[in-house]
Amino acid sequence: MISVGAVRDFVLSHRTYADFARYPLAHGSLVTFFPKDQWRMLHSMPRSETPCGIRFSVIFRYVPLGQTETMVMNIKNSSKSKDEEKAALNAYKAARDAEYESAQLAGRIARGTHTPRVWDCHAGKFYPTDAVYVGREVRDRRTGQVTWAATPFGNHLKLSGDAFRAYAAEKMLDADFRARVLALRGRDLLCWCGPDAEFCHAKVWLELANRV
C-alpha cells in the first residue's frame, strides 16, 4: 500500500490480541505485508481524533496463479470426501507458497540482493532448482530406490551443536574437503531441517563456505 497526502495512523492488531503497533504514515509511505503476516494480523486506519487533510491509498495485492485457477477454495465440493478436500487444499497452499517464494527469489536475484540460505527439501516445499543437497542418502521406503544421493557433507554421525562444529572444523583441515566446502560459496543449500529446527548442520556448511 502506498499512502499519499495527509498523515494518518496505521494500526496493527493480532486476531486474538489488542492493538500492538501504531505507525503514522507520512506522505509517500510504503507498507508491505508478507502473506503469513497478512493472514494472522489485522490492520486498520482508525478515525482521527481531529480533522485531517485529503489522503489517498493505492493498494496492490499479489494474487497467486493457483488461486486464479481454483478460485474460491472454501466452497465445499460435495463430490469430494473430506480427505480429498483436505489434500486438494494442502496442494493448493503448497503451490501458492511455492509461487510466492519463487517470485521473491527471482526478484532478489535480479536486484543482486540474494543471500544464500538453507532450504527445506521436504515434498511440497519450495526451493531453488540449483540448490545443493548436503544431506545423507535417502531411499524411497516402498521401492528402496535412492531419491537423494549421499553427499560428503551429510551429518552421518548425527551430531548437533558444538559437537558438529568441532567435527566440521576437523574436516576443514583436509585441503580437498575444504575446497569442496568453498565451492559451495554463494550457493543455496538443501536440508531436511525445517526453519524452526534448533540445530541444522547445513547452516554450519553455509557459514563456513561464505565466511570472509
Model confidence band, residue 20 (pLDDT cutoffs 50, 70, 90): confident
Question: Are 131 and 108 contained in the same domain?
Answer: no
**Residue 157 has which C-alpha cell?**
554421525
Question: Are 140 and 81 contained in the same domain?
Answer: no
Question: Are 54 and 86 contained in the same domain?
Answer: no
Question: Are 103 and 47 contained in the same domain?
Answer: no
Question: Are 128 and 164 contained in the same domain?
Answer: yes
Domain span including residue 52: 2-58
Read off the pLDDT of residues 45-82 as tens digits, 9 standing for 90 and up. Answer: 888 777 888 889 998 877 766 666 655 444 455 567 88
Question: Are 110 and 82 contained in the same domain?
Answer: yes
**Length of the chain in residues, anyone?**
212
Question: Are 179 and 131 contained in the same domain?
Answer: yes
Domain boundary among 46, 80, 114: 114
pTM above 0.85, yes or no: no
Read off the pLDDT of residues 148-172 as tens digits, 9 standing for 90 and up. Answer: 999 999 998 899 899 999 999 999 9
Q: Which pLDDT value is given to residue 141?
A: 86
Q: Which pLDDT value is given to residue 177?
A: 94
Rounded to the nearest 10 degrees, how much is the dihedral formed by the CA atoms of 210, 201, 187, 36? -110
Question: Are 171 and 209 contained in the same domain?
Answer: yes
Mean pLDDT of 121-139: 89
Q: How many structural domains does the chain have?
A: 3
Read off the pLDDT of residues 80-107 as tens digits, 9 standing for 90 and up. Answer: 788 888 888 888 777 777 887 888 888 8
Query: What is the distance between the alpha carbons of residues 42 and 55, in angstroms, rounded to a whole number?
Result: 21
Mean pLDDT over the full length of the chain: 85
Question: Are 70 and 148 contained in the same domain?
Answer: no
Domain boundary among 11, 26, 58: 58
Q: Which pLDDT value is given to residue 165?
A: 94
Q: Which of 144, 132, 142, 146 is nearest to 181 (CA)?
A: 132
Model confidence band, residue 190 (pLDDT cutoffs 50, 70, 90): very high
DSSP 146: E
Scanning the structure block, which residue is given the C-alpha cell 480427505? Answer: 83
Domain boundary among 114, 131, 151: 114
Question: Are 54 and 6 contained in the same domain?
Answer: yes
In this structure, the number of other CB atoms found within 10 A of the CB of residue 135 comes to 21
Question: Are 90 and 153 contained in the same domain?
Answer: no
Question: Are 42 and 88 contained in the same domain?
Answer: no
Q: Which pLDDT value is given to residue 78?
A: 55
